[in-house]
């Protein structure tokens, strides 16, 4: 008997397992996606390691994933998923499967425990449960694994991790079968009695097609058994004739005679059961295919599986290109339907982790470094497969090639194209894009000088006249003689409130449109932009406002202002004296209609809004 080492699960594993057990039945399907994704990761790791350590490849010839679904005679069912990837030694079996090493899992746990079962179910769909999703369908799980050979470990042995769905511990032991795998991992799920549907190869095929066929570039084979008719061997055939002869009665003898006439030409056939491996992902990966042959559903499924997003993408663009330095590539870029929660928490710090770079179908990295994309676009999800880079290209090497720089501007160009196309072609989707990315475009216009004009064109604003306008539409709507883009900003206020402000009374009455800015980014945006299409922005709460249709020239106005100031000097002096602690100056104005006075910010001074922001950023 092989000595077995017993380990208790860590407490968070126990918590996770509880969720698995209580989770909704309807999310069980994901177990296969998770296990295939792990097998694929293990093969990717092997391939990457092999670039520097050739010996890891010995042990098994193929790099593939195989699935067997078996219904045993006693009515139980098993699924066996095997890969020839990097494998695990006994320590790795213990830490990788006995603890929660996954980065996303603690977040998952926190959220799942604070939500009801439906919510937890959705979360499972979103995050996946990794290896633990095995227990959604299995009572007992065996993981046999042989680590890949290395200079440190020249003759690795095969070990088993074993655990039951409701046990608080797991066992690790040397596989009594010896090294049957050569290299890699074999996961055996002993199915729960109510999960026997998964022994149906049709069911497995359906799941792989939906979730995994496009995400693995390594072949996935499904084992099936098929009835086949094969010629009966010579001596076997003779024996069969004899056997048959013994049994024939009068009626059948005539049939037998008839058959005998053709016997010399046509061999006798018999039914046998043959093993067959069906290649389930024989289509090229989705990004290599002609976009015309890929359905929307395929793009969506691929996105959800690759980027682990439970929501469908808002838009995507599939294209091939040439970096300009001789690197040709194929790419798909996706616009997610939501931003990560962390996006606005860490302005200017997030860098993209979702540009999956492959070279000739081989995954290389999804971390292209800090300058991969500007912050505003760091949410974009991309798969890119380059033809003409060396397979062993490292990130450092990549950065020294011009390819990354070129890739960056190509991604941005296409991303802006997708977004611009949405404005033109799909008003409904565009509304969604605005609600998610409205502020992102403003941030982009400030941050990304090179793409500023295109980003500004995507921004929208509320005004005293309408809910949404672009700056170009604003300019088309400007009144004759109007020389400025009017805006009123009050961070944290509402557009309704702003629309009633004394500052726009007169403008509104005279038919001028005023942008109503309520988001901190709005004001940063106009202050950075200053001018759009050679028309400058004017804060209507600041001195210096000009309507453009004044009856008098600025000189005449100055004269009149002077005269009025003379006339009202006693009043102004009195006001200045009384209010000297709160205002810097008191002047005569022509900007009000019904209100009798307004407090206005200095032309060069901070507006109340920016002051608010400055003080809040110090606290």
Nearest-angstrom CA–CA distance, 583 and 561: 20
522: contact with ligand ADP by CB under 6 A? no
Q: Which residues of 96-131 are buried (b: 16+ CB within 10 A; e: fewer)?
A: bbbebebeebeebbeebeeeeeeebbbbbbbbbbbb
Segment near Mg ion (CB under 5 A); pick from 32-40, 133-141, 342-350, 451-459: 32-40
Show Cβ contacts of residue 367 under 8 Å, excluding neighbours closer than 6 positions.
353, 395
Q: Which residues are annotated as a binding site for ATP?
A: 34, 38, 83, 88, 96, 103-104, 185, 395
42 counts as binding ligand ADP under rule CB under 6 A? yes
Outline where DSSP puts E strands in 29-135: 65-71, 77-83
* Residue 269 contact partner, candidates ligand ADP, Mg ion, none, CB within 5 to 8 A by sort of partner: none
Which residues on adjacent β-strands are paired with residue 315? 335
**7 lines the binding site for ligand ADP (CB under 6 A):** no
- Stretch in the footprint of ligand ADP (CB under 6 A) among 35-43, 151-159, 467-475, 527-535: 35-43
Shortest distance (Å) from residue 227 CB to Mg ion? 37
CA–CA distance, 167 with 217 (Å, rounded to integer): 36
Q: Report the residue number, 125 or 130, with the smaller CB distance to Mg ion.
A: 130
Nearest residue to the partner ligand ADP, using Cβ: 130
130 binds Mg ion (CB under 5 A): yes
**Segment 363 to 422, residues that bind ligand ADP, using CB under 6 A:** none
Residue 541 CB contacts under 8 Å (≥ 6 apart), including other chains: 488, 489, 503, 600, 601, 607, 608
| Burial call 206-237: b when 16+ CB within 10 Å, e when fewer | ebbebbbbbbbbbebbbbbeeeeeeebeeeeb
| Residue 39 vs 280, nearer CB to ligand ADP | 39
Distance CA 128, CA 321 (A): 34
Residue 520: name its binding partner from Mg ion, ligand ADP, none (Cβ under 5 to 8 Å by kind): none
> How do 484-489 and 514-517 pair as beta strands?
parallel
Does 85 interact with Mg ion (rule: CB under 5 A)?
Answer: no
To the nearest 10 degrees (0 to 180), the angle between helices 403-425 and 427-447 is: 140
Contact indicator for 60, 182 with CB cutoff of 8 Å: yes
* DSSP string over 130-196: GGGGGGGTEEEEEEEEEPPP-SS-SS---EEEEEETT-SEEEEEE-TT-S-SSSEEEEEEEE-GGGG
Which of 41/505 has CB closer to ligand ADP? Answer: 41
Q: Shortest CA distance to 415 belongs to which of 458, 386, 353?
A: 458
Choose the stretch contacting ligand ADP; rule: CB under 6 A; options: 97-105, 116-124, 238-246, 529-537.
Answer: 97-105
Helix (H, G, I), strand (E, B) or coil at 278: strand
Q: Could you say which of 23, 38, 163, 216 contacts ligand ADP (CB under 6 A)?
A: 38
CB nearer ligand ADP, residue 96 or residue 463: 96
Binds ligand ADP by CB under 6 A, chosen from 32, 63, 79, 86:
86
What are the tokens at 116?
């009801």
Nearest approach, Cβ of 44 to ligand ADP (angstroms)?
10
Residue 86 partner contact from ligand ADP, Mg ion, none using kind-dependent CB cut-offs of 5 to 8 Å: ligand ADP
Residue 38 within binding range of Mg ion, rule CB under 5 A = yes
Options 44, 83, 385, 448; binder of ligand ADP; rule CB under 6 A: 83
| Residue 401: DSSP 8-state | S
Closer by beta carbon to ligand ADP, 88 or else 407: 88
Shortest separation between residue 122's beta carbon and ligand ADP, angstroms: 18
Count of C-beta atoms within a 10 Å radius of residue 537: 18
Which neighbouring-strand residues pair with 188?
80, 142
Closest CA to 172 of 181, 185, 159: 159
Backbone angles phi, psi at 2, to 5 degrees: -80, 130
Q: Which of residues 161-220 bind ligand ADP (CB under 6 A)?
A: 185
Cα–Cα distance measured from residue 123 to residue 24, given in angstroms and rounded to the nearest whole number: 11
Contact mark string toward ligand ADP, 110..149, x via CB under 6 A: --------------------xx------------------
CA pair distance 484, 591, nearest whole angstrom: 15
Q: Taking CB within 5 to 8 Å according to partner kind, which of Mg ion, ligand ADP, none is near residue 440?
A: none
Instruction: Output Rg (C-alpha) for the chain, integer angstroms.
Output: 35
Total residues in contact with Mg ion, by rule CB under 5 A:
2
Nearer to ligand ADP, 87 or 90 (CB): 87
In whole angstroms, how close is the CB of 157 to ligand ADP at the nearest point?
16
Residue range at the interface with ligand ADP (CB under 6 A); choices 49-57, 85-93, 171-179, 348-356: 85-93
State which of residues 71, 102, 429, 542 lies at the interface with ligand ADP (CB under 6 A): 102
Binding site partner of 203, from Mg ion, ligand ADP, none, Cβ cut-off 5-8 A by kind: none
Q: Which is nearer to ligand ADP, 15 or 542 (CB)?
A: 15
Of 34-42, 175-183, 380-388, 492-500: span binding ligand ADP (CB under 6 A):
34-42
Minimum distance, C-beta of residue 81 to Mg ion, in the bound complex (Å)? 12
Q: Binding of Mg ion at residue 216 (CB under 5 A)?
A: no
Binding site for ligand ADP (CB under 6 A): 34, 38-39, 41-42, 83, 85-88, 96-97, 101-102, 130-131, 185
| Interface positions with Mg ion (CB under 5 A) | 38, 130
């Amino acid at each position: 008997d092989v000595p077995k080492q017993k380990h208790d699960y860590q407490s968070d594993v126990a918590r996770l397992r509880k969720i698995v057990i209580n989770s909704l039945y309807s999310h069980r399907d994901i177990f296969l996606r998770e296990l295939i994704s792990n097998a694929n990761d293990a093969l990717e790791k092997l391939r990457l390691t092999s670039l520097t350590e050739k010996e890891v490849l010995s042990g098994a010839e193929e790099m593939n994933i195989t699935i067997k679904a078996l219904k045993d005679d006693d009515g139980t069912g098993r699924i066996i998923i095997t890969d020839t990837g990097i494998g695990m030694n006994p320590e790795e079996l213990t830490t990788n499967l006995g603890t929660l090493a996954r980065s996303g899992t603690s977040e998952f746990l926190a959220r799942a425990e604070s939500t009801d079962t439906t919510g937890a179910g959705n979360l499972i769909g979103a995050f996946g449960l990794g290896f633990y999703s095995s227990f959604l369908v299995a009572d007992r799980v065996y993981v046999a694994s042989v680590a890949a050979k290395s200079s440190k470990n020249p003759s690795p042995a095969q070990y088993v991790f074993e655990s039951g769905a409701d046990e608080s511990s797991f066992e690790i032991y040397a596989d009594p079968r010896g090294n049957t795998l050569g290299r890699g991992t074999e996961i055996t799920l002993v199915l729960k009695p109510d999960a026997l549907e998964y022994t149906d190869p049709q069911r497995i095929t359906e799941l792989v097609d939906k979730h995994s066929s496009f995400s693995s570039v390594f072949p996935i084979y499904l084992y099936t058994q098929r009835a086949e008719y094969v010629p009966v061997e010579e001596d076997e055939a003779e024996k069969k004739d004899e056997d048959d002869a013994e049994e024939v009665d009068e009626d059948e003898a005539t049939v037998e005679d008839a058959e005998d006439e053709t016997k010399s030409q046509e061999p006798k056939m018999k039914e046998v059961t043959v093993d067959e491996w069906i290649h389930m992902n024989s289509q090229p990966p989705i990004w290599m295919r002609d976009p015309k042959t890929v359905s929307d559903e395929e793009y969506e499924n691929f996105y959800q599986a690759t980027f682990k997003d439970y929501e469908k993408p808002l838009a995507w663009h599939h294209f091939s290109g040439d970096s300009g330095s001789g690197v040709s590539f194929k790419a798909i870029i996706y616009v997610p339907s939501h931003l990560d929660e962390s996006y606005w928490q860490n302005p200017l710090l997030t860098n993209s982790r979702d540009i999956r770079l492959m070279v000739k179908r081989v995954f290389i990295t999804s971390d292209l470094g800090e300058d991969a994309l500007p912050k505003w676009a760091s949410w974009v999800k991309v798969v890119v497969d380059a033809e003409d880079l060396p397979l062993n290209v490292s990130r450092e090497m990549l950065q020294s090639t011009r390819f990354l720089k070129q890739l960056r501007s190509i991604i941005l160009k296409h991303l802006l194209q997708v977004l611009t196309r949405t404005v033109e072609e799909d008003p409904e989707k565009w509304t969604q894009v605005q609600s998610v990315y409205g502020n992102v475009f403003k941030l982009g216009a400030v941050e990304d000088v090179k793409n500023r004009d295109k980003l500004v064109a995507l921004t929208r604003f509320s005004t005293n006249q309408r809910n949404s306008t672009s700056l170009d539409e604003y300019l088309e709507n400007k009144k004759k003689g109007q020389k400025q883009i009017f805006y009123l900003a009050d961070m944290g206020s509402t557009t309704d409130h702003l629309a009633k402000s004394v500052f726009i009374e007169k403008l509104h009455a005279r038919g001028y449109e005023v942008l109503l800015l309520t988001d901190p980014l709005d004001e940063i945006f106009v202050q950075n932009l200053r001018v759009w299409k050679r028309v400058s922005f004017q804060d209507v709460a600041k001195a210096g406002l000009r309507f453009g249709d004044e009856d008098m020239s600025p000189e005449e106005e100055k004269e009149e202002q002077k005269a009025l100031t003379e006339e009202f000097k006693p009043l102004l002096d009195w006001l200045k004296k009384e209010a000297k602690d709160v205002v810097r100056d008191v002047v005569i104005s022509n900007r009000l209609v019904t209100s009798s006075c307004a407090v206005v910010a200095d032309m060069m001074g901070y507006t109340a809004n920016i002051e608010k922001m400055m003080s809040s950023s110090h606290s």
